Amino acid sequence: MANRTFKVYGQAYASSGDVTAVLSVGGVEVFNGAVSDSTTVRSGPPTTSNLLFSYTLDEATTGTLAYSLTVAGGELCLGPTHYNYAEAQVISSDWVAANIPDLTNVSADAQTHIASTLGETALTTAYYNELVAGTAGTPSDAQTALFQAANMPATSSVYVISDDTRASAQIDSVAMVDWDDDAVSKINWPVLEDGSVFTCTLTHVPDTYHAVV
């Protein structure tokens, strides 16, 4: 299995030096060091989303994980996390619905679009050549499976915004207010002061995400 990269965004400020962070996920320390941004002063609720730091986990790491983030040297506002190797749709559902609603009688123009967008490697040479020639017509079950797999690749270059839930969230052992709603827990930005610790139970489901970036 490959390593999945997680990019943590938000904003941080230190009056001098750098804000540092220590993050453990699933009981394993995955980051320990200075964050990339220590100069963004917060005014009101945090909204600035700068890349703070990155870490990796084995691609097979999913499910319920203990999450603990300790901050020192200043303030850190924990924003969204982006990660790769999620299945992300290449050809949109709107295009499929408009052009090949039942995957039958695919027009030559639609076949050309599929071939040029998904490519020979993903589709296999035989199916790709049929699409380029406009002779695929109604795809076989095997060709339909090839299209569906090629249209939902899990690649290192495509990042998505995490939609993972964060249950039992606390800062310095004090429960976060209004975090009993999953929708809230996914998007709220914890604000951590110097010396604070944010903990939660993270449920990581890599093929359920908020948006593609």
Whose tokens are 């009101």? That residue is 44
11-70 residue pLDDT tens: 999 999 999 999 999 999 999 999 999 999 999 999 899 999 999 999 999 999 999 999
The three state secondary structure string of 71-124 is EECCEEEEEEEEEECCECCCCCHHHHHHHCCCCCCCCHHHHHHHHHHHHHHHHC
CA distance 46 to 32: 23
Query: Judging by beta carbons within 10 Å of its beta carbon (0-12, 13-18, 19+), is residue 49 exposed, middle or buried?
Result: middle
139-157 residue pLDDT tens: 888 998 999 889 988 888 8
* Residues across the chain: 213
Tokens of 199: 């903990």
Query: Structure pTM?
Result: 0.82
Tell me the one-letter amino acid at 86: A
Tokens of 172: 């310095």
CA distance 155 to 4: 10
